[in-house]
């Protein structure tokens, strides 16, 4: 006791006490995520049409994988039935031959499930990697065709981090999704068998399904809200590291090492808070589902015992039913993992879609062709403001004519807009107002070869 008090006095548990003191604040953060005004990103709605072409390309592999999952679920039904058979049929008959039949059937079912599970896992992983590569290529191609103004509003590190979110698509076809999906298939098959064994126990389980659905709904809402913030903060941290490393010479020339470290530390602290909220939301949902499942098991235990007492249920059927109830509870609880993985995938896809929704340079119609330029340049009342600062015009009402063969020098202080004029002339920027022409043709309408 004295040692414990000494350790407390020395402050060795101060970090634990501090974290426990922050626990109520984290709980409040999780509760705030349950409000309907949060961005409830789900893997549905406008995301499925965007993802459907990639899934259609691998439809045959996905169908075979689904069939293998069904086979694995049917194999999982046999062990509880084997218990019922042994208790109600083998033991009363005292015939060892019947036991051998049950044992052989169990060995076959036990060996079949991992084999088909591995095959399904392999097919889904292959589809996931190919889909991930296709999405990465499509997103990268789209980003490269975006206007230059888009890149000036987003750092290279931030865009690289957004592009890396394609990796989350692999979760959609990984074991993290396969196990809950197989568990869901087990639940469907188990409901059918459980209804044949004991309708009262089945009804007691079905009565708890709405409660499980409510818990799962709130769990999913909390996960969705925390996922969005976690992804964005991770992208900002990656962007800061990329910028500091790529401009390390400038950082050293300005003696800004400590300042950059402090900026990164602040971003990491914000990310840590979001990650803790995310983990707490996931844990609260999982524990809520597990507690509800425990209550379902208790109710099924009592209902089955009453049925056995009335003589309407055999001991073997009672034992098998309890095993099926446990399988149902485990399958429904595994949906928490499905929710977590699904929200990670959905958030990543939604953020990728935000990038690919930006208009490309080559999407606007360009009917004019300039096969051989004479070199007549004109700026007609051209004004320009960067998209990030639309209220501040870099150029205002610029009027300029340059005849073919004429040489013009543009001078001015740094930031006066000299480079902006050149980029407007080459079509890298589009003027906020006015027109830039070459040989009388609007630069924005000229189609390059």
327 phi and psi angles, rounded to 5 deg: -65, -40
Contact 77, 105 (CB under 8 A): no
Q: Which CATH class is domain 47-361?
A: mainly alpha
pLDDT of residue 271: 76
Q: What is the pLDDT along the chain (449 residues), one digit of tens a residue?
A: 445 545 544 555 555 555 555 545 555 554 554 455 444 444 455 566 767 787 788 888 888 888 887 788 777 778 888 888 888 887 777 666 777 887 888 888 888 888 888 888 888 888 888 888 888 888 888 888 777 777 776 777 777 777 777 776 666 666 556 666 666 667 777 888 888 888 888 888 888 778 777 776 776 666 666 666 777 777 778 777 877 887 888 888 788 888 888 888 888 887 777 777 777 777 777 777 778 888 888 888 899 899 888 888 888 888 888 888 888 877 776 665 566 666 667 767 777 777 777 666 555 555 566 667 788 898 999 998 877 677 788 888 889 898 988 888 888 888 788 888 888 888 888 888 899 888 888 887 776 65
Q: How far apart, in whole angstroms, are the C-alpha atoms of residue 169 and residue 139?
A: 13
Q: Is 242 exposed, middle or buried (0-12, 13-18, 19+ CB in 10 A)?
A: middle
Torsion angle of C-alpha atoms 310, 315, 316, 320, degrees rounded to 10: 80
CATH 1.20.1560.10 residue ranges of the chain are: 47-361
Q: Which two tokens stand for residue 426?
A: 């080459």
User: What pLDDT was estimated at residue 226?
Assistant: 64
pLDDT at position 8, please?
46
CA distance 414 to 203: 77
Q: How many CA atoms lie within 13 A of 339 on its CB side?
A: 28
Q: What pLDDT does residue 248 have?
A: 82
What span, in angstroms and rounded, lies between the C-alpha atoms of 149 and 168? 28
Residues of the chain with CATH 3.40.50.300: 366-447
The residues, ordered by sequence, that sit 6+ positions from 258 with a Cβ below 8 Å of its Cβ are none
- Beta 393-402 vs 377-385: how paired, if at all? antiparallel
pTM: 0.61
The torsion defined by the Cα of 339, 340, 346 and 352, in degrees rounded to 10, comes to 180
Given this model, what pLDDT does residue 40 score? 45
Which pLDDT does position 219 carry in this prediction? 65
Which CATH number is 366-447's, of 3.30.420.40, 3.40.50.300, 3.40.50.1820, 3.40.50.720? 3.40.50.300
Among 342, 272, 350, 344, which residue's Cα sits nearest to residue 29?
A: 272
């Amino acid at each position: 006791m004295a040692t414990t008090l000494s350790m407390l006095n020395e402050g060795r548990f101060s970090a634990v006490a501090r974290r426990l003191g922050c626990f109520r604040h984290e709980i409040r953060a999780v509760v705030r995520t349950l409000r309907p005004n949060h961005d409830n990103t789900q893997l549905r709605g406008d995301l499925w049409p965007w993802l459907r072409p990639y899934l259609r390309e691998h439809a045959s592999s996905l169908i075979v994988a689904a069939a293998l999952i069904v086979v694995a679920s049917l194999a999982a039904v046999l062990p509880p039935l084997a218990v019922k058979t042994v208790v109600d049929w083998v033991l009363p008959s005292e015939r060892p031959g019947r036991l051998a039949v049950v044992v052989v059937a169990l060995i076959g079912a036990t060996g079949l499930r991992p084999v088909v599970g591995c095959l399904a896992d392999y097919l889904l992983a292959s589809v996931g990697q190919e889909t991930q590569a296709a999405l990465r290529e499509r997103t990268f191609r789209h980003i490269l065709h975006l206007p230059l103004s888009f890149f000036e509003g987003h750092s290279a590190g931030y865009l690289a981090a957004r592009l890396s979110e394609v990796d989350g698509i692999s979760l959609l076809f990984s074991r993290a999704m396969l196990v809950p999906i197989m568990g869901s298939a087990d639940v469907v098959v188990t409901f059918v068998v459980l209804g044949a064994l004991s309708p009262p126990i089945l009804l007691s389980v079905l009565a708890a399904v709405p409660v499980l659905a409510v818990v799962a709904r709130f769990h999913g809402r909390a996960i969705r809200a925390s996922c969005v913030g976690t992804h964005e903060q991770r992208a900002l941290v990656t962007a800061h590291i990329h910028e500091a490393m790529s401009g390390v010479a400038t950082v050293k020339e300005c003696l800004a090492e400590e300042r950059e470290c402090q900026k990164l530390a602040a971003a990491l602290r914000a990310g840590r808070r979001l990650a803790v909220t995310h983990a707490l939301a996931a844990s609260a949902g999982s524990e809520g589902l597990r507690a509800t499942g425990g209550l379902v098991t208790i109710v099924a235990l009592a209902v089955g015992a009453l049925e056995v007492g009335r003589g309407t249920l055999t001991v073997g059927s009672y034992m098998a039913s309890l095993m099926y109830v446990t399988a149902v509870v485990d399958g429904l609880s595994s949906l928490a993992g499905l929710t977590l993985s699904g929200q990670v995938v959905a958030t990543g896809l939604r953020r990728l879609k935000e990038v690919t929704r930006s208009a490309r340079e080559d999407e606007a119609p360009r009917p004019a062709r300039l096969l051989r330029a004479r070199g007549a340049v004109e700026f007609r009342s051209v004004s320009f403001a960067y998209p990030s600062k639309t209220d501040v015009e870099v150029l205002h009402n610029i009027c300029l004519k340059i005849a073919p063969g004429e040489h013009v020098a543009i001078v001015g202080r740094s930031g006066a807009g000299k480079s902006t004029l050149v980029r407007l002339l080459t079509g890298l920027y589009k003027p906020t107002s006015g027109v830039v022409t070459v040989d009388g043709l609007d630069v924005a309408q000229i189609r390059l070869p």
